Each structure stands twice: as C-alpha cells, then as structure tokens.
Amino acid sequence: EGKGGKGSTRRPSAGPTPYYMMPIDPPESSTKRSQLTRKLTSSITSMIHNPPATSSSPLEPSRGPLTDAEPLLDKGMHMLEALPTHERGTSSLILDVAGLLREVGRLEEAEALLLEAYGARRKQVGKTAAGTVEAVESLGLLMRDKGQLEESAMLLNEAVEARR
C-alpha cells in the first residue's frame, strides 16, 4: 500500500496553515486563478490518492479517511463558481472536485459536476478528446457506484470506443 494507506501511522505536521484552510480571496486575474486552481487540484488529487491515516492509538480519536476533505471541497466549489462559464466545464478542477465528492459519498453533487464537465468538453473539444474521455469515464464509474449498471456500462463503453 502507498503512503497514507490503511495501516499507516503518518500524521500531518504541525507546520503553517495549509493554503486550502486560509480565507478565500477572489482571484485578481486569470493567472492568479490558474495558480490557485493548480494548487487546489494538486491537493485534491493528493487527498484522493493518499487519504489521511486513521489513528492506531486507543487514546486518540479515529480520523476516518478524508475527514479533511470538507474545507478543500468548500474552497474547490468556491473556485469553480468564480470561473467564467466557458472555462468551468473544461477545467481540471471540476473533475478533481467531482472525484473528491465521489470519494466522500456525495454522489449526487459529483454527478452534477461530471455531467457539466462531460457536456462542456464534448461541445468544446469533441467526444474523443482526452479530457472528454476522462469525464465520461469518471461519470461511468460514478454510475457504477450508484448501482446504475446499465448506464455505467454504456458510458464506460463510450470511453473505451473513444480511446480507439
């Protein structure tokens, strides 16, 4: 298992406040917005692939996986709302926020974002573009999680066909 997986005793350091826990200021420019989006995307991706360790000590309360996700989700949603409409659906941030929502079990919210991303990408870059395929694949996996297996199979087959 990788870092932060089950059985890991890694604890967050008591260093400076992570940027995603700091107050949200509206970005002054698209450059600043892009920098913030990259940082947040990196944090979300890291949290999905390396969830916080649970406590192994009987004296410490157990921290379930992704307990730190809420502040990150709040910031991600705020940043998505700040993006211009034409950028929102094609940004990498929308897929990352949807992925984190899926990981914490907020499937309806994840579905709404994935449908938005899929529709925007399909319209702006075509159904065989890598970003569109990533969106349809994520949507297919989400449908599987929701128990909608026929819909899942259809979407995942679409992703496979687009990759050919």
pLDDT single digits (tens) 58-108? 444 334 455 677 888 888 899 999 999 889 999 999 999 999 999 889 999
Residue 53 has pLDDT above 60, yes or no: no
Pick the CATH number of 27-163 from 3.65.10.10, 3.40.50.620, 2.40.240.20, 1.25.40.10: 1.25.40.10
Q: What is the rounded CA–CA span in Å between residue 93 and residue 27?
A: 15
pLDDT single digits (tens) 133-149? 999 999 999 999 999 99
Residue 32 has pLDDT above 60, yes or no: no
- In the prediction, which pLDDT does 43 show? 59
H/E run at residue 59: none
- In the prediction, which pLDDT does 59 show? 41
- In the prediction, which pLDDT does 64 show? 46
Residue 28 CB-density burial (10 A; 0-12 exposed, 13-18 middle, 19+ buried): exposed
Most confident of 4-13, 56-65, 155-164: 155-164
Q: What is the rounded CA–CA span in Å between residue 72 and residue 99?
A: 12
Instruction: Name which residue leads in pLDDT, 158 or 9.
Output: 158
- Write out the DSSP string of 86-131: HHHTTSHHHHHHHHHHHHTT-HHHHHHHHHHHHHHHHHHH-TTSHH
Instruction: Name which residue leads in pLDDT, 152 or 22.
Output: 152
Residues whose CB falls within 8 Å of the CB of residue 104, separated by 6 or more in sequence, listed in order: 66, 69, 73
Lowest-confidence region among 28-37, 53-62, 94-103: 53-62
What the block records as the tokens of 38 is 């990259």
1: confidence class by pLDDT, cuts 50, 70, 90: very low
Average pLDDT value for the chain: 75
